[in-house]
């Protein structure tokens, strides 16, 4: 379960940056009306902020894979 | 006569050997004993010819020869399985073994315990052989290389829990980009069974725990230490992996077979860690650059609007219903607030562009307009937008940027359009 959430977050840096790039391109093209531009600007700022926060608050997680006696693959937290 | 003599001698036990009549079996037995006692262990250099691997026994048979002589060589399966490289005709080798005689055929033979290539190491040759084989099969070709994700969330690591490699990887990723999960699969990285463990771990990552990318490696060592990474079973697992693999065998200069098959080769485990995640400061810098670009673009747009509104104010302000101008001003005011809210967290970062947009928008806000000498008139709690809205003698307030003037209407002059 937690794996799926993780994978979603994984996409989010990539997706956020991609969207941010789109916004920058649109704004730089200068064709959007001002209120639209401000809307994009707000969205871009929110994305940038959330990326920064995600990275600044992130803590490296360590996991360890083991084969159980039955051969099943187990994943546990790893303490070093 | 002769025959009689021979049979006579044969019956005599204590006659000297040169006078004795021997059976073939006796002679070969004696010769075999002498050979075995005299040459219990020798190393012989020669060229391999007539090489055959007998199936299903798995024993090896060949002739070892030089320009002047040759000898039959046998290598039992139990010894043959330990050979790292493949034997073939024409190969120059050193054969270590014992000499004996194969009685049924009377063949004088060398029983090989080990074979090494003459001139180069066995491992080196095995490496070259496997490299050639896999290369021909296309395992190294570019078209099979998978891209490494830019922002992996879960990174699998196949290595030993002992040793510097795993510590280096953890500390570098922790420093560079800690917004990830490191999933470590501890394996033996050298010695008996290491290659099998490494291969199985790679296979497991392809059916069990989901990861975005795999690092497979170990710290530096001798060719023997690194050998598991030159084994075919590891190469096959890497090739078959759906998860992109970064090889990270800690040897700066030399390549392993794993390096050739991997989607990306890192020279050391540390290098793999550097490669697998983005750099924190570059990432943040990139975000700042985007913010700067957005700000600059919005600044340009507000510049444009400032010009337009200025024109509007100069040419039409007194003719247009004030409410229309006010609406526009209200809109700008709203945008300004929004820009400020969005930028709040970044103002500290001394972003001049954001400040600049903000001041542009401020200049457009009603207060900014008033500061430039415009005023609006309010009476009975409403903004006076037309001379028709007030009567002579009615009191009104004139709003300036720094305060209010109380006044009374003493006359009206309607402007003809």
Inter-chain CB proximity A75 and B286 less than 8 Å: no
CATH fourth-level superfamily of B130-278? Hypothetical protein af1403; domain 2 (3.40.50.10550)
A22 in contact with B at a CB cutoff of 8 Å?
no
Amino acid B84: pLDDT: 84
> A with B: how many residue pairs have Cβ under 8 Å apart?
142
Amino acid B188: pLDDT: 96
Confidence at A1, pLDDT banded by 50, 70, 90: very low
- Give the separation between CA B417 and CA B193, rounded to whole angstroms: 98
Inter-chain CB proximity B284 and A55 less than 8 Å: yes
Cβ(B219)–Cβ(B163) under 8 Å?
yes
What are residue A77's DSSP bridge partners? A63
B147 in contact with A at a CB cutoff of 8 Å?
no
Please tell me the distance in Å from A45's CA to the nearest CA on chain B.
6
Which residues of chain B from 264 to 283 reach within 8 Å of chain A, CB to CB?
280, 283
A14 in contact with B at a CB cutoff of 8 Å?
yes
Interface test with B, best of A2, A11, A27 (most B CBs within 10 A): A27
Please tell me the distance in Å from A25's CA to the nearest CA on chain B.
9
What are residue B135's DSSP bridge partners? none
HEC sequence for B33-63: HHHHHHCCCEEEEEEEEEEEECCCCCCEEEE
Kindly list the residues from chain A whose CB atom is less than 8 angstroms away from the CB atom of residue B301.
Answer: 27, 30, 32, 34, 37
B331 in contact with A at a CB cutoff of 8 Å?
yes
Judging by beta carbons within 10 Å of its beta carbon (0-12, 13-18, 19+), is residue B372 exposed, middle or buried? exposed
Kindly list the residues from chain A whose CB atom is less than 8 angstroms away from the CB atom of residue B280.
Answer: 55
Cβ(B290)–Cβ(A18) under 8 Å?
no
Kindly list the residues from chain B whose CB atom is less than 8 angstroms away from the CB atom of residue A27.
Answer: 293-294, 297-298, 301
Does an H or E element contain B342, and which? helix B322-347
Here the ipTM equals: 0.81
Please tell me the distance in Å from B304's CA to the nearest CA on chain A.
9
Inter-chain CB proximity A46 and B331 less than 8 Å: no
Length of chain B: 417
Q: Coil, strand or helix: which one is B396?
A: strand
- Give the separation between CA B24 and CA B358, rounded to whole angstroms: 112
pLDDT digits (tens, 9 = 90+) for B307-326: 766 666 665 545 555 556 66
| pTM score | 0.67
Amino acid A35: pLDDT: 74
A1 in contact with B at a CB cutoff of 8 Å?
no
- Helices vs. strands in chain B: H and E counts, helices first: 13, 14
Nearest CA in chain A to B295: A41
Kindly list the residues from chain A whose CB atom is less than 8 angstroms away from the CB atom of residue B152.
Answer: 10
- Give the separation between CA A20 and CA A62, rounded to whole angstroms: 30
Domain segments of chain B: what residues?
2-119, 130-278, 290-374
Q: Coil, strand or helix: which one is B187?
A: coil
417 residues of chain B, pLDDT tens digit each: 444 445 444 555 667 778 888 899 999 999 999 999 999 999 999 999 999 999 989 999 999 999 899 999 999 999 999 898 889 898 899 999 999 999 999 999 999 999 998 877 778 888 989 999 999 999 999 999 999 999 999 999 999 999 899 999 999 999 999 999 999 999 999 999 999 999 999 999 998 888 999 999 999 888 888 999 999 999 999 999 999 999 999 866 678 999 999 999 999 999 999 999 999 989 998 998 888 888 888 888 777 777 766 666 665 545 555 556 666 666 777 777 777 676 665 545 445 656 666 666 666 666 666 676 777 788 887 778 788 888 898 998 887 878 889 999 998 888 765
- Helices vs. strands in chain A: H and E counts, helices first: 2, 2
Does an H or E element contain B408, and which? strand B403-408
> Are B2-119 and B130-278 in the same CATH fold?
no
pLDDT digits (tens, 9 = 90+) for A3-21: 344 444 444 788 899 999 9
- Give the separation between CA B231 and CA B17, rounded to whole angstroms: 56
CATH fourth-level superfamily of B2-119? Nucleic acid-binding proteins (2.40.50.140)
Q: Coil, strand or helix: which one is A65?
A: strand
Which residues of chain B from 172 to 231 reach within 8 Å of chain A, CB to CB?
173-174, 177-186, 201, 204-205, 208-210, 212
A55 in contact with B at a CB cutoff of 8 Å?
yes
Please tell me the distance in Å from B201's CA to the nearest CA on chain A.
9
Domain segments of chain A: what residues?
2-77
Asked whether the CA dihedral B348, B352, B353, B357 is positive or negative, the reply is positive
Residue B229 tokens, joined: 């990474």
Amino acid B369: pLDDT: 65
Please tell me the distance in Å from A16's CA to the nearest CA on chain B.
10
Amino acid B354: pLDDT: 63
Residue A16 tokens, joined: 């956020």
pLDDT digits (tens, 9 = 90+) for A13-61: 888 999 999 999 998 888 877 778 888 888 988 888 889 888 888 899 9
Amino acid B321: pLDDT: 54
Amino acid B400: pLDDT: 81
Amino acid B186: pLDDT: 96
Place of tokens 């075995």: B36
Interface test with B, best of A64, A65, A74 (most B CBs within 10 A): A65
Which residue in A24, A52, A65 is closest to B204 by CB distance? A65
Question: Under 8 Å CB-to-CB from B365, ≥6 apart: which residues?
Answer: B329, B332, B333, B336
Q: Give φ, ψ of B233 to 5 degrees.
A: -60, -35
Cβ(B352)–Cβ(B375) under 8 Å?
no
Which residue in A46, A48, A66 is closest to B290 by CB distance? A48
């Amino acid at each position: 379960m937690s794996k799926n959430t993780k994978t979603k977050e994984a996409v989010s840096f990539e997706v956020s940056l991609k969207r941010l790039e789109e916004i920058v391109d649109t704004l730089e093209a200068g064709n959007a009306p001002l209120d639209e531009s401000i809307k994009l600007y707000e969205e871009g700022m929110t994305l940038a902020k959330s990326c920064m926060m995600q990275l600044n608050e992130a803590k490296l997680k360590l996991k360890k894979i083991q084969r159980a006696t039955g051969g099943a693959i187990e994943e546990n937290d790893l303490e070093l | 006569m002769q025959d009689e003599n021979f049979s006579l001698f044969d019956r005599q036990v204590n006659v000297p050997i040169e006078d004795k009549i021997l059976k073939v079996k006796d002679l070969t037995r004696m010769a075999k004993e002498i050979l075995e006692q005299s040459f219990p262990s020798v190393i012989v250099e020669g060229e391999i010819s007539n090489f055959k691997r007998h199936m299903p026994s798995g024993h090896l048979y060949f002739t070892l020869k030089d320009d002047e002589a040759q000898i039959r060589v046998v290598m039992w399966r139990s010894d043959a399985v330990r050979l790292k490289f493949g034997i073939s005709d024409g190969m120059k080798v050193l054969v270590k073994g014992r000499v004996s005689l194969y009685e049924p055929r009377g063949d004088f033979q060398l029983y090989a315990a080990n074979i090494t290539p003459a001139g180069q190491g066995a491992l080196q040759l095995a490496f070259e052989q496997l490299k050639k084989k896999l290369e021909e099969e296309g395992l190294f070709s570019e078209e099979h290389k998978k891209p490494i994700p830019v922002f992996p969330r879960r990174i699998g690591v196949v290595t030993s829990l002992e040793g510097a490699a795993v510590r280096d990887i953890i500390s570098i990723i922790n420093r560079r980009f800690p917004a990830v999960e490191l999933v470590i699969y501890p394996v033996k990285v050298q010695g008996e069974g290491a290659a099998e463990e490494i291969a199985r771990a790679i296979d497991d990552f392809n059916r069990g725990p989901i990861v975005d990318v795999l690092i497979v490696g170990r710290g530096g060592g001798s060719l023997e230490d690194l050998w598991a990474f030159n084994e075919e079973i590891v190469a096959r697992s890497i090739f078959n992996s759906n998860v992109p693999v970064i090889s990270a065998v800690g040897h700066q200069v030399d390549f392993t077979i794993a390096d050739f098959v991997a989607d990306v080769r890192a020279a050391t485990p540390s290098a793999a860690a550097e490669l697998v995640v983005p750099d924190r400061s570059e990432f943040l810098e990139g975000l700042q650059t985007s913010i700067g670009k957005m700000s600059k673009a919005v600044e340009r747009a507000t510049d444009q609007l400032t010009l337009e509104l200025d024109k509007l104010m100069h040419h039409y302000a007194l003719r247009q219903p004030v409410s229309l101008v006010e609406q526009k001003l209200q809109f700008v005011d709203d945008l300004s607030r929004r820009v400020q809210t969005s930028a709040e967290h970044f103002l500290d970062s001394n972003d001049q562009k954001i400040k600049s947009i903000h001041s542009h928008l401020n200049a457009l806000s009603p207060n900014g307009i008033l500061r430039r000498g415009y005023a609006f008139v309010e009476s009975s709690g409403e903004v006076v937008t037309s001379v028709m809205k007030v009567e002579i003698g009615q009191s009104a307030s004139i709003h300036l940027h720094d305060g209010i003037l109380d006044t009374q209407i003493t006359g009206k002059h309607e402007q003809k359009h």
